[in-house]
Amino acid sequence: MEFEAVIGLEIHVELNCATKMFCDCPNNPGDDPNTNICPTCLWLPGAIPRFSAEALEKASLLCLGLGAELQPKSAFDQKVYYYPDLPKGYQLSQAHLPLARGGGIDISDEDGKTKRLRIHHIHMEEDVAKLVHEMEGRLPISLVDFNRAGSPLVEIVTEPDFRTPHHAMEFLKALRTQVRYVGSSECSMENGTMRVDANISVRPKGTRQMNTKVEVKNMNSIRHVGDAIAYEISRQSQAVQAGEAVVLHTRLWDPEKKVTLPMRGKFEGPCVPDPMVPVIELTPEWIEKMRVRLPEMPAARAGRFVKQHGLTGEEAAFLSEDPEVAVYFEALVVRGIAPRTAMHWLATQLLPAVKERKMELASQPVTPERFAALLKMLAGDEINANAAREVLTHLFESGESPEEIVKARGFKQVSDAGALEAMIDQALATQAAAVADFRAGQGKALGFLIGQVMQASGGKANPKIIRELLAKKLNAVS
Amino acid sequence: MDSIFFYRNPDSAASGDGALAGLNIAIQPNISKAGWPVDAGSRALANFTALEDATVVDRLSRSGAFLCGSTKTSEFGFGLAESRAGEAVKQKIADTELVLDMTGEARLAAAAAGVCGFKPSYGLVSHFGLIGLIPSMETCGVLSSSIQNIRGILKAVAGPDEKDFSLPDESVPDFTAQLINPTKTAIGVPAEAQSDLTDEQRERFRLSIEELSQAGFAVREVSFPEWPLFLAVHKIVGSVEASSAAGRYDSVRYGERAPGAKNWNEMYLASRGASFGTLLKSFLFQGAFFQFQRYTAYEDACRIRARLVADMKNLTGEVDFLALPVSGGASDPNPATLDETYRQFACTAFANVTGQPALVLPPASKGQAPLQLAGPRLSDAGLLSLGEHLLKLREGGK
Ligand SMILES: [Zn+2]
């Protein structure tokens, strides 16, 4: 029997707010344990949660960025469960009235076809404390770090629209890009600012039934999400084929053994409305104000790049993935660099160079002004591509302008026909074999001859003029 | 004789200045004062010391009042078993006392002590620093022999607080005394509120109402057919809120951690089990039952609560104030069972459900019962003026 999987994701995203969700403590969970704490986030008797406006704004921008509809009325509930990472016994979460509903992301499936993966709802909740298990001599002890307690989270709950690990991974990549775009979170699974749980069930292919699902947690990268889902699909398919029943439970992904293992469930009760956090009522005016703050989203921006700058869909998508790259690209175009040149030099030269130096595009020394000046000299035939690559290296190391570097280091292109002609004659005289090949119809011999002349010029010759002069000479002689 | 105090302020009263200078105030150990032990009457909070002043405490101190100590409270202020609320004022050790009112505790304690007890409108006084159980119903009550004192305290503590976002965005009433014109003031007496009274209680209450008529007020009987639902809604919504909110009192980071547990789960269970008293446990169990087994009943109760609030608003639109008994039909003055506790508060719980203000006056004569007056939400200033008017008449009559 052939099986197909029905998969839904629950994605926790930690918002990069300055403070926690219900108090003014810094939202820096990674600091020394229990340094960012106060009576409110320790949930001490008498403390009252005070909902942060910044958390609401960042969460709302995230919802709008994913095409979800902000609800006029949302509210926090007490999600009751007992665990030492939650010593007050309940977590503030929007169980009944979420912040936003709907929305979704278009991905390309395995066949390159567009597939819509829908979002059911997006709600806000506070993070819980972190448990650290250690040994004190031979005694196992558990320590609680409250730095993370009360950090602002949103949870994105999808519809069970996913069928394959590919869908999940593409969705997560696109989600990460979009959330980074609106600036609400870094969305890194590696450092824990994005955490993904997958609900997976299997059914005979072609049927529409919804079978008992299994929840899988503890994946630390998008790759692991794909692996864990693939493992779980095959595990469940085998179990069903062997006539075993799938029971509702939670499993943990073991990245080393590459298997999922069952875990003990937490006791969870129904949610009751929290009486202390006021109901959140969003006016159409406020929602509009947020919408105006929304940057151009990647899909829209890529579409515009194709139309406005004549790029291919692939090129436009590449540039739009990271908002900083997109902004940098347009900063070059605004400075009069041809879009294709800008795209090409950004993708093949600048970005790899920045990455190699472990720098960030926004803060590295080759500003759009300097890079545009360099590309202008290239376009104006003042330097050739070889020289431009070398000047780029110098731009990382010195504060001089590209013009100064070219001048000081003699990168100026030799376009003087007289000087080049002497070098060409020399090459024709010494490379008789190549000349013969060319005449015999081997086109690539021309390239070889151009290389010889270029070498003779110390790399500074204008390749276009060499080609012209060479072609003229070869044709004249024949 | 054992002390009525849980904690006495070691400092002596300083002659400060401010509107409340010279006023000697007792609080209870579920109202935070930085540095004072606040066990809220529970072993779960044994040895817990407040880190910050409650907003009420902070504002009273700024107004020059002196806090003389905290008096013994029932566990988390629910019910009056083992509570000594009201006695400090009765014995004139304190001019006023702050007592949390979540079912009617401040009002019943005042009635028992023979002093005035006021429960302000919900949302008027900050919850910050109050260690309670039923956040949507409880508010800080004030006991005193003098309504002037109560007014002075309300003036000092009421109003928005940046530490409590749950306070509705409303204008604070002007607490200046208002002139009461009895012939233009209608007072309604809900018939259903008397249904549980014994014959003797009923007679005493009749005498109290007579005082109002004699004072010239237009007194008439009104009907509130759904009256019994107030207690039912309080039982369900109040206990569910308490069951969830009491999770905060873990008895692990403070209080008494039970020894001998094999793992954290056992340790939490054992500590909470050992810390909470029987009445509180019954209350929390009841809440857990509705939360986990009868959630739809809880949802129904929330809907009925909204309806009761609307009906009460209509009723207090027809008359200016309501007059009601204070004590319900409980036989034991300090019951320790859940059922008896509820019966004790049968005439006071309505104001916690609706959030309206209520004032208890001591009886004018031996034959009378203490009288409870109530008004619509935010009628606090008028209600206090009505009480003051009646007390003045009594003085004139002597
Ligand atoms: Zn904090």
Interface predicted TM-score of the whole assembly (ipTM), two decimals: 0.93
Ligand 1 mean position, distance from CA B105 (Å): 32
Where does CATH 1.10.10.410 sit in chain A? 417-476
Is the pLDDT confidence value at B258 over 90?
no
State the distance between the two ends of chain B, measured CA to CA, in whole angstroms: 35
Average pLDDT for B126-130: 97
Residue B398: the pLDDT is: 46
Residue A179: the pLDDT is: 95
Three-state DSSP class for A415?
coil
Average pLDDT for B218-238: 96
Which DSSP string corresponds to A86-125? BTTSEEEE-SSS-SEE--EEEEE-TTS-EEEEEEEEEEEE
- For residue B291, which residues of chain A lie inside 8 Å, CB to CB? 80, 269-270, 272
Residue type at B352 in one-letter notation: N
Average pLDDT for B176-186: 92
pLDDT tens digits for range B322-351: 999 998 766 676 777 899 999 999 999 999
Cβ distance of B131 and A46 shorter than 8 Å: yes
Average pLDDT for B198-217: 94
Residue A82: the pLDDT is: 79
Ligand 1 mean position, distance from CA A25 (Å): 4
Report long-range pairs for B177-185 (Cβ below 8 Å, ≥24 apart).
Answer: B177/B151, B177/B384, B177/B385, B177/B388, B178/B381, B178/B382, B178/B385, B179/B385, B180/B385, B180/B386, B180/B389, B182/B215, B182/B216, B182/B217, B182/B218, B182/B389, B183/B216, B183/B217, B183/B218, B185/B217, B185/B218, B185/B320, B185/B321, B185/B386
Q: Which residues contact B203 (CB under 8 A, 6 or more apart)?
A: B367
**What percentage of chain B has pLDDT greater than the value 90?**
79
Cβ distance of A87 and B253 shorter than 8 Å: yes
Cβ distance of B291 and A272 shorter than 8 Å: yes
Is B10's Cβ below 8 Å from some Cβ in A?
Answer: no
Residue B397: the pLDDT is: 56
Residue A424: the pLDDT is: 85
- For residue B244, which residues of chain A lie inside 8 Å, CB to CB? 78, 80, 89-90, 272
Is the pLDDT confidence value at B1 over 60?
no
Among B163, B249, B292, the residue with its CB nearest the CB of A45 is B249
Q: What is the DSSP letter of A216?
A: E
Give the torsion through C-alpha atoms of A326, A328, A334, A340, to 10 deg.
-70
Average pLDDT for B150-161: 96
Ligand 1 mean position, distance from CA A82 (Å): 21
Among B48, B162, B298, the residue with its CB nearest the CB of A45 is B48
Among B131, B165, B252, the residue with its CB nearest the CB of A87 is B252
The continuous run of DSSP H or E covering A4 comes out as: strand A3-14
pLDDT tens digits for range B62-85: 999 999 999 999 999 999 999 999
Q: In Å, how far is B38's CA from the nearest CA of chain A?
A: 9
- For residue B40, which residues of chain A lie inside 8 Å, CB to CB? 45
Is the pLDDT confidence value at B232 over 80?
yes
Q: In Å, how far is A102's CA from the nearest CA of chain B?
A: 26
CATH topology of domain A417-476: Arc Repressor Mutant, subunit A (1.10.10)
Which domains are assigned to chain B?
2-179 (3.90.1300.10), 229-301 (no CATH)
Ligand 1 mean position, distance from CA A433 (Å): 80
Per-residue pLDDT of chain A (478 residues; tens, 9 = 90+): 789 999 999 999 999 999 999 999 999 999 999 999 999 999 999 999 999 999 999 999 999 999 999 999 999 999 988 788 888 889 999 999 999 999 999 999 999 899 999 999 999 999 999 999 999 999 888 899 999 999 999 999 999 999 999 999 999 999 999 999 999 999 999 989 999 999 999 999 888 888 889 999 989 999 999 999 999 999 999 999 998 888 888 999 999 999 999 887 666 677 899 999 999 999 999 999 999 999 888 888 999 999 999 999 889 989 998 888 999 999 999 999 999 999 999 999 999 999 999 998 988 999 999 999 999 999 888 888 888 998 999 999 988 899 888 888 877 777 777 778 888 888 888 888 888 888 888 778 888 888 888 888 877 788 888 888 888 888 775 5
Residue of A nearest to B34 (CA): A46
- For residue B127, which residues of chain A lie inside 8 Å, CB to CB? 48, 276
Residue A268: the pLDDT is: 67
Identify the band that residue B247 occupies on the pLDDT scale cut at 50, 70 and 90: confident
Ligand 1 mean position, distance from CA A37 (Å): 4
Cβ distance of B54 and A46 shorter than 8 Å: yes
- The CB-side HSE value for B221 (13 A sphere, CA atoms) comes to 7
Is B262's Cβ below 8 Å from some Cβ in A?
Answer: no
